[in-house]
Structure 1
Amino acid sequence: MNAHTRDWEAFVTQKEDGKAHMELAVDGITCAACIFEIERELLKEQGISHARVNMSSQRLSVDWDEAAYNPSRLVDLMEALGYKVYPFDPAQVKARGDRIGHELLRSLAISGFAAMNIMLLSISVWSGNSSDIDMETRAFFHWLSALIALPTVVYAGRPFYRSALKAIKTGRLNMDVPISIGVLLATGLSVVQTVQHARHAYFDSAVMLLFFLLAGRYLDHMMRRKTRSFAENIATLKAESAAKILPDGSTQEVPLSKLEAGDKVLVRAGERVSVDGVVLEGQSEIDQSLVTGETRLQPVSVGDNVFAGTLNGPGTLTLGVTASAKGTLLDEVNRLLETALEGRSSYVQIADRASQLYAPVVHLAALITFLGWVFLMGADWQYGLVIAISVLIITCPCALGLAIPVVQVVASGLFFRSRILLNAGDAVERLANVKTIVFDKTGTVTLPQATLGDAGGLSEADLALAGRLALSSRHPLSQALSKATAQTQPIGGASEVVGKGVQGQWDGEEIRLGSPSFCGIPQGAVEQRQKEQPGSSLLAFRRGADVWALLAIGQYLRQDAVETMAALRARGYNLELLSGDTAEAVGDVAAALGIERWQAAVKPQDKIAHIEHLKAQGHAVMMVGDGLNDAPALAAANVSMSPVSAVHVSQAAADAMFLGDELMPVVEALDIAGKAHRLMQENLGLSVIYNVIAVPIAVLGYVTPLVAALAMSGSSIIVVLNAVRLQFMVKQANKESV
């Protein structure tokens, strides 16, 4: 193993059956062809059982048999293929991605500025050649063009040259090889022709070619940059240490890695639970919404299980550790999410698949053209080279490379206006293929925050009093009440009784807010109220002996949820509802939305299993969810969306997010994607037609490098203009729907 490989031992994790696992960041991946090559070559190695590349995060996950394989061979093989590898660190991957983006942007700006200036000089030469320009003036303009072009070609072409050199060193061809050859040949020939005082030089062709290629490369980079890594976000839920209870009863903060099963830890009120464990002492209420999706606080006492990542309520708990750094439910969710993301990373776009065949075909065509003109037609080598360069340039995959990214950019603008943010560059294509939509309940089809639904007949004055009393409690239901009543002044002297409610004095009367039993509400009244307000949590209020009420608080349907489901059904989508909530709550919501297929009390792994089952039946599945328990399912689905109120991990796993309290952006996303996908197919078709027509013309010698560059630019412009049509298509569709 090389020198720095020794430092990677800390990144190797042991799996069952003698398997080892490691995550590596890979530099040099530019397209799906790179992914295919890496995975193919690694899986040829005896001992490697799994190799998968995540395009978005540039991460390689590898499993190998420790007894049969030395990981140093893996590192050497990757370097032999032309890729640098590092231990995977999300922050470092992001920093490297930012550096690449800055380099592409600088190169794009420089090539654009140079192309404009060289084109002005070229126009003067063209017009002069058809009139009375003298040789000295023409040579002067050519040398000025060379002065601008040479440093531009050297600097702006670096992203292509580096990739081409790596490919050549490893005996491969990628699409950057003919690009580099075409640019350098056009520049070199132009220098020779300038020295020979020729009528034409092709500096403008070389620089324009670079500009359009860099534009496509930068657009593609920006789309991929929007796909955020879950690893940065899931860390916010993981505590790094816990308060271990020592044999003498004292506590000491220790790293999670130092805890073992059977140790005791202390979880104070308001703290996030750092381990999976069993309650040994104390009672409290746990907010498990990040894990289960259930919004109601769950009371826990001796013997109950609690999980890492959940939030402790008002009580103090002593836990017996069952799992700490590894093996917790949070760690399992993380593992499921990683697996699902890797499984989806093998998606290969049409343009990327075409690029695998592009390089060898173009090289062969250009070489045959040069040899044919020089040896068969008896042409001068310079003339033959000019035609060969024209073939290289005119077949440049600018239109092919822009066909999808430019539609994505236009679609992104439309998504943004519809309050939708894309996280994945290929989300448009996958949204267009959706047939089945699976919704989470809590925080997705319902509002993310609990709110007051019904005051139970309480007067405005008493409701305001209840809201003031609620300010003295940290319970979510009390906080929802205080927010709904917009109260800011708490009741003086009020005190909270753990697990029951809050009490105080007002005008000589005792006032209470909390559980029905704490407020002395008859059980019959509670049962009747539950029938009237199904799916709501009841918060009791009492003033004195005579005034009392049961306030209904819950997460109610988004205002347009019913309309959204009706619109989706009208478009022919199959709808399902999966939730970790209770069967009663899920059933009520499904009935209100008209969704026939639903499941309750679903765990994260069950959601993935159900989605995989649907995919196996041929369904293209879209998942819409917001909780931590939804993150693996979001990643496992063909495409996914989350509300902006979702936890960070779910946002990272989703391909798109929608803003606001309305659900209609889901419909708008599907509509925009369908139209955008159609335009992508049209653009690819236009690119193919362009090459079918242009290549024979170039091979026959009717095209100069400049005309080839203009034709290539023209094809790119046509593709861009066709993509802009998307805006008018969406506007027209909106008018028709109104």
Structure 2
Amino acid sequence: MTQCFHCGLPADGNITAKIDDHPQLFCCEACRLVALTISEGGLSSYYRFRDELAEKPRALNNDFLGYDLPEVQLDFVHRDADNLAVARLSIQGISCAACAWLIEKHLGEQRGVSQVRVNATTRRCTLRWNPETAPLSTLLNEIQRIGYQPLPDRLESNQQQRKAERHQAFMRLGVAGIGMMQVGMVAVALYSGDHYGIEQNWQSFLRWVSLVIATPVVFFSAAPFFLSAARALRAKHLNMDVPVSLAIGLAYTASAFATLTETGDVYFDSVSMFTFFLLLGRFLEMRARHSSAFASENLRQLLPLTVTRMDEAGSKVSVPLNALRPGDQVWVNAGDMIPADGVLTNAQASVDESILTGESLPQIKKRGDSLCAGTLNRESALQMHVVQTGANTQLAAIEQLVEQAALQKPRQIAFADLIAGRFVAAVLVLSVIVAFVWWHIEPERALWVVLSVLVVTCPCALSLATPAALTAGLNRARQLGVLVSGPQVMESLARLTHVVFDKTGTLTEGHLRLLGTVSPGAGAQTGEAESLSIIAALEQYAQHPIADVFRAFDRGLVATDVSVSEGEGVCGCVNGTHYRFGRPEFAAPGVAYPDEDAQVLWQLLAAETEADGQAIPLRWIMLGDCLRESAINAVTELGELNRNVTLLSGDRYSVVADVAKAAGIADWAGEARPADKLHWLNQQQAQGARVLMVGDGINDVPVLSAADISMAMGSATRLAQSKADGILLNGNLTAIPAIIVLSARVQKIIRQNLTWALVYNLVALPAAATGILPPWLAAIGMSASSLVVVLNAMRT
């Protein structure tokens, strides 16, 4: 039957069109119009380079005019620095890289379009255009004209698609699992009957039972393999699903034939088992991919859904975040995220900017200082004047860097697919030759000899060689304290040349700790334990990072008349004495610092005298962010593995220099913002470097996305973890060199498995082709070969 030139469905002989001066048949007018649009636009190269057939076009959508409304565009369109509109679209119907190329070329030629980028893997499109020249509805219609369905890229639709995909995969896996167990029980009876003797009618009955159970496994559970193989064959390409489909399809067909004719052997148990384990591996990969995408789809999820806006009279009203506009006055409570970029209007505030800058200490902001969306208001409520909202904030700029980095991320090459594809092609040719020879020698044995060849050379071991070793490697990585997002990470770790660390929360602990205390050396003094107890009493009602340090030193002392001076310190009475604790200028004005160490945050405990209220220094407190205990060993071991180690941080130069020296890192850079880190990474990759990035905060997300491999700390933000390829669960940095060594071992085992699978096939093939090896013994050999591969993988 003739296929439609565009989508591959059965064609209607009355629907034709000339494409590149050659008449072509189509299944419907929609496919014909799409093909003519592509051809007349000078884009017919699409049909030469696509590796999958296009989907059948849907009916034209007449509702795109609604997307021209500004209110509708709020969720997925923003303006850039050049005042051009940028839309984030989800495009249905993309099946290969040629589809992405076609959309980019066609839209790029439309009036008003400045830039089009399509990610074929995620099916997302970033469209940059001048809305005064061309409305969005016109461009969406152009996408639909060439056979694709554009939709706004919204979180809800993406989640619904993932939910449907997860449900379908679970159903297929469940059917295969149940079928495997049931057919396995029947197979035990058949094998026992072959050994001890079984009546023909009972054997026939059990075979029919196996056929009934295995049929839904093959036609429902294994359907994705057959569909993928069919698309690959139509595109004249052999992927791993082609040999998998041949293994399942041929074994099932031969078994069904043997059941119908009551001759030969059946392999329904092997079919069901093979299908189940392949589906299980793909299901686990899908879960990891969905988990990774959950928090990374939109950085602006960090912002609150509602904000408190103030009117001219000072009244407060709760409004949706989307209703916020530049010029509004906003009230932000302590502990809440700042919802937009703006300027502080009250006296001062303490703001945690670590997600943007990597700076571990809260920053004291004065009236008129700038505030950034996504940062955390730490101590007390603040008021701000909104300057930028939504897509124009600094947080949104980082989101755009993430999207750009995702488009540049290197693809992994499926080496096993390449081997399997060529091997299967050779086996198919050989099977035809064997069939031809045996048809002339002994026609009644031709089918079973060919079946023996196909079974014994079934690429089960070949297809299991890589995933079995990778799965064992992933389990071993988990034991080392590293949660790896997918098997492709194991394929790349051994080839890394550079390891890049962030500072705050990565090489360092990421939170304030008590480093020690110092006696002032004159005046009234208290012991260290007593001083810490007094401070704990003063800070017990405060909510800021410094107060958290002293929770463990609470000895039951009660502070009264406590007063907190925002960004300065706290004062109050303990056991009848009035104490002041905080910045030295607050606790005892005019006192000299004991040391101007840039890494240390000095705080002072002082007591007021009853006579004149003069503050007497009692104890200096040193606070700071400590280097992780494992950092030095990790850097040393990476050096022994001949990996280059670099420290990139947004913190101050002096702090970064001290941390780099303490950790033994010679190559470092300070005050590096997200764009700086991404630029440095791109430069290294342009020179052929393969980079592992280890980070902790949202400021690391763009470079985590662009790095060849990325890892986040177990204490990192959810977003940083979602963009990373691995997570250090216990924060032990020595797991990094350990997993690099593990990756090299996994690669070695993969090569061993592939070698064994190929050698086995080359040895067993002559025996099968000459008729020495019957089908049942070929099946045992196939299973034994797969078992050897799995056992070898377990040595990882």
- Per the shorter chain, which TM-score range? 0.7 to 0.9
2:642 to 572, 592, 596: 572
Give 1:476's aligned residue.
Answer: 545
Distance in 2 of aligned mates of 1:195 and 1:513? 90
- Matched residue, 2:19: none
- Aligned partner of 1:507 among 558, 575, 587: 575
List aligned pairs for 1:543-562, cutoff 5 A. 543-544=607-608, 545-562=615-632
SS in 1 for 2:493: helix
Q: CA deviation at 1:99?
A: 1.5
What are the superposed Cα offsets for residues 670-714 of structure 1, whole Å, 9 maximum, x if unpaired? 222222222223323333434444556555555555444433333
Are the aligned partners of 2:300 and 2:395 in contact in 1 as well (CA < 8 Å)?
A: no
Matches within 5 A, 1:218-257: 218=283, 220-221=285-286, 224=289, 227-231=292-296, 234-257=299-322
Separation in structure 2 between the aligned mates of residue 681 and residue 26 of structure 1, nearest angstrom: 38
Whole-angstrom distance in 2 between the partners of 1:462 and 1:403: 63
> Contact between 2:484 and 2:725, CA under 8 Å: does it hold in 1?
yes
Mapped contact 1:434–1:620 kept (Cα < 8 A): yes
1:47 aligns with 2:108: yes
| Amino acid in structure 1 at the alignment position of 2:736 | V
Rounded Cα–Cα distance in structure 1 between residues aligned with 2:446 and 2:146: 40
Give per-residue Cα distances to partners, 1:559-581, cap 9 Å, x unaligned: 23222222222222211111111
Query: Could you tell me which residue of structure 2 aligns to residue 328 of structure 1?
Result: 393
Task: Identify the match of residue 676 of structure 1 among 735, 739, 746.
Answer: 746
Which moves more between the two structures, 643-652 or 154-163?
A: 154-163
State the TM-score, normalized to the length of structure 1. 0.85
Whole-Å separation in 1 of the counterparts to 2:441 and 2:107: 52
Q: How does 1:178-193 map to 2 (within 5 A)?
A: 179-180=244-245, 182-193=247-258
Residues 1:61 and 1:395: Cα distance change in structure 2 (over 3 Å): farther
- For the Cα contact (< 8 Å) 2:335–2:378, is it kept in 1? yes
Give the C-alpha shift of residue 448 in structure 1: 2.3
Aligned to 2:124: 60
Contact 1:90 1:229 in 2 (8 A): no
Where does the alignment leave 5 or more consecutive residues of structure 1 unmatched? 727-738
Q: Is the 8 A contact 2:409 2:706 kept in 1?
A: yes
Higher RCO, 1 or 2 (CA under 8 Å, sep at least 6)? 1
Equivalent residues of 1:107, 1:214 under 8 A apart: no
Distance change in 2, residues 1:434/1:400 (3 Å): same
More moved, 250-259 vs 329-338: 250-259
Are 2:76 and 2:87, in contact at CA under 8 Å, matched by a contact in 1? yes
Do the aligned partners of 1:455 and 1:463 also contact (CA within 8 Å) in 2? no
Contact 1:114 1:207 in 2 (8 A): no
1:260-279 alignment runs, 5 A limit: 260-279=325-344
Q: What secondary structure, in the 3-state scheme, does the structure 2 residue paired with 1:642 have?
A: strand
Between the aligned partners of 1:191 and 1:236, the Cα distance in structure 2 is 54
Rounded to whole Å, the distance in 2 between the matches of 1:700 and 1:74 is: 57
Asked if residue 652 in structure 1 is aligned to residue 707 in structure 2, the reply is no
Q: Quote the sequence identity (%).
A: 28
Report 1:668-707 matches (<5 A): 668-695=738-765, 698-699=768-769, 701-707=771-777
Q: 2:486 — aligned with what?
A: 424
Partner amino acid, structure 2, of 1:437: V
TM value normalised by structure 2: 0.79
CA distance in 2, matches of 1:118, 1:348: 41
How many aligned positions are there?
Answer: 705
- Distance in 2 separating the partners of 1:563 and 1:114: 53
Amino acid at match of 2:508: T
Structure 1 SS opposite 2:561: coil
Query: 1:77-111 deviations in whole A, cap 9, x for unaligned?
Result: 6779xx99996644324423432442243134124
Deviates more, 1:674-683 or 1:282-291: 674-683
1:491 aligns to 2:555 (yes or no)? no
CA separation of 1:500/1:119 partners in 2, compared to 1, >3 Å: closer, same or farther? Answer: same
Q: 1:351 to 1:187 in 2, by over 3 A?
A: closer
1:294 and 2:342 are equivalent in the alignment: no
Residue from 505, 510, 513 that aligns with 1:443? 505
- The residue correspondences of 1:513-592 to structure 2 (distance < 5 A) are 513-520=581-588, 522-524=590-592, 526=593, 528-531=594-597, 534-544=598-608, 545-592=615-662
Q: Give the whole-Å Cα distance in 2 for the aligned partners of 1:176 and 1:471.
A: 62
Q: Are residues 1:341 and 2:403 paired?
A: no
Q: Structure 2 unaligned runs (5+)?
A: 1-57, 68-72, 110-115, 520-526, 609-614
Mapped to 1, the partners of 2:152 and 2:383 lie a distance apart of 44
The root-mean-square deviation of aligned C-alpha atoms, in Å, is 3.6
Q: Aligned in 2, Cα 1:250/1:394: closer, same or farther, shift over 3 Å?
A: farther
Counterpart amino acid of residue 645 in structure 1: S
* Aligned residue number for residue 467 of structure 1: 536
In structure 1, what is the Cα distance between the partners aligned to 2:487 and 2:555? 45
Q: Report deviation, 1:417.
A: 1.8
Shift of 1:212: 4.8
Counterpart secondary structure, 1:496 = strand
Asked whether the 8 Å contact 1:25–1:87 carries over to 2, the reply is no
1:227-281 Cα deviation digits (max 9, x unpaired):
4443368455212333333344433333333333333333333321000112244
Q: 1:408 aligned to 2:470?
A: yes
Aligned counterpart, 1:284: 349
Corresponding position of 2:514: 452
Distance in 2 (CA, whole Å) between partners of 1:26 and 1:189 is 38
Q: SS in structure 2 opposite 1:270?
A: coil
The structure-2 alpha-carbon separation of the partners of 1:113 and 1:45, relative to structure 1 and needing over 3 Å to count, comes to farther
2: CA distance, partners of 1:698 / 1:311: 70
Given the superposition, is the C-alpha separation of residues 357 and 253 from structure 1 closer, same or farther in structure 2, using an over 3 Å criterion?
Answer: farther
